[in-house]
A = this chain, B = another copy of it.
C-alpha cells in the first residue's frame, strides 16, 4: 500500500515533535551517563586506595534489584533496565582499571618471558598498572637473562605452547623466594617443567581468554597449584584485585577438560571452515540469508581464522590423550553421516535424544541465553 504525498506530509508533521522529544530525552541520557562515569571513577579511586576488589557481586545484585523494582513500578521493562545497567557497569569496570593496588608488600619485580606477545602484553600492562617493576624477556634478551631475573619476585612464562618447556629449562637459576608461573593453555607439561627447574614457589595459570578481552573482570583463570602456596599468595590476591574469577584444578583435570572445551571445539570449527572454503560457498550470499542466529553460527566459525594458526594447531596437538578422544569423535561423525546418508530419520532422532538427555535443562537455559544474546546481536545491525 503506497502512502500518498499528503499523508506523508501529515505523518511527518505528527512525527517531528515526537522525535524532538526523543532526542531531548536521549540527550539527557548522555548527560546522566557522563555524571555516572564521574562518580564511578571516584569509586575506583577509593577502591584502589583500600585495595578493594573492583567487582563486588553483592553490590551489583542489590543495585540491579532496586532498579528492576523501580522499573516495574514505572511500567518499564525490568529486563531493559537490567541490560542497560549491566552495559553501563561494564564500562565503569573498564575505566576503573586504569590503576590497581599492589598486593605484594613493598612491590616487586616481575619478569614476563614473552612479554611482547599478545597475551603477555596484557599481563605486562596489568602488573605495571599495579605498581610492579616489569621487565620483558624476549628472544634477544636471553644473554642477559641471569641479571634480569636476579632480583625478580615473579618470572611469568607467556610463550607459545611448543616453546614453553624448552624455555623453562633454559631459565637461569631463580632467587629462592621467586615465584615461577606460566599462562600456557596446557598445564601438566609446563607445571612439571617448572617444578623440575625451580625449588621455590611454583604456580600454573591458564587465563581462559584471549588477548582480545578489554579487561579481565569476571574472566576465568584456572589455577594449578605447584609448590609452596604461601609463597605465591600475593599473586593470587593480585589476580583477584584485577577482577579475575579463580578456579582451582589439578593439571590433569585441567588438561582433560580443555581437550573438550578447546581442542575438539577448535577442530570442529576448523573442519567446518575448511568445508565451506572447499565448497566455494558464496560468503556474501550466506550472510545475506543469515538471520542473527545463523550469522552468529558463521561468526563463531569464521572468528577462528582471524587468530594465530600456530597457537590453535598447538592447542589441538597439545595433549597425549588427544588421539583416543579424536578417534571416538571421528567414529561418531562417521556414524551420524551414515544415518544421514541412509536418510534414517529415526536413527538421527535417537542420536538427537542422546544430546537432549545429556544437556537436560541446560539446553533450554542455553536457548534462552543465546536468544537474549541474539537479540543483542540484532541490535548491532544498522
Contact = CB atoms under 8 A, between A and B. Distances in A.
A303 to B, nearest CB: 4
A125 interface: no
A281 interface: yes
A169 interface: no
Contact of A261 (B43, B50, B289, B357): B289
Contacts of A23: 63, 66
User: Of A33, A35, A212, which is in contact with the most chain B CB atoms at under 10 Å from its CB?
Assistant: A33
A12 B294 CA distance: 48
A190 to B, nearest CB: 17
Given A299-B370, A316-B340, A26 B63 contact: yes
A147 interface: no
A370 B300 contact: yes
A260 interface: yes
A133 interface: no
A96 to B, nearest CB: 12
B274 A264 contact: no
A302 B39 contact: no
A1 interface: yes
A375 interface: yes
B18 A43 contact: yes
Contacts of A230: none
Interface string A1-37: 1010001101100110011011101111111111111
Contacts of A379: 83, 86-87, 89-90
B18 A39 contact: yes
Contacts of A348: 270, 313, 316-317
A315 to B, nearest CB: 11
Given A59-B19, A349-B313, A326 B355 contact: no
A369 B1 CA distance: 37
Which range contains the number of A residues in contact with the other chain? 35 or more
B359 A305 contact: yes
B336 A63 contact: no
Given A300-B297, A302-B359, A341-B327, A290 B270 contact: no
Interface stretch (A71-79, A136-144, A170-178, A191-199): A71-79
A371 B212 contact: yes
A69 B367 CA distance: 36
Interface in A332-382: 332-334, 336-337, 340-341, 343, 345, 348-349, 351-359, 362-364, 366-367, 369-382
Contact of A362 (B283, B330, B373): B283
Contact of A340 (B33, B317, B363): B317
A42 interface: yes
17 contacts: A23-B66, A27-B67, A90-B378, A208-B291, A214-B375, A220-B291, A257-B289, A270-B351, A276-B358, A277-B355, A278-B332, A302-B359, A303-B370, A304-B355, A309-B349, A313-B349, A373-B376
A-B residue pairs, 7 tightest by C-beta: A277-B358, A273-B355, A86-B379, A306-B363, A208-B291, A11-B50, A302-B366
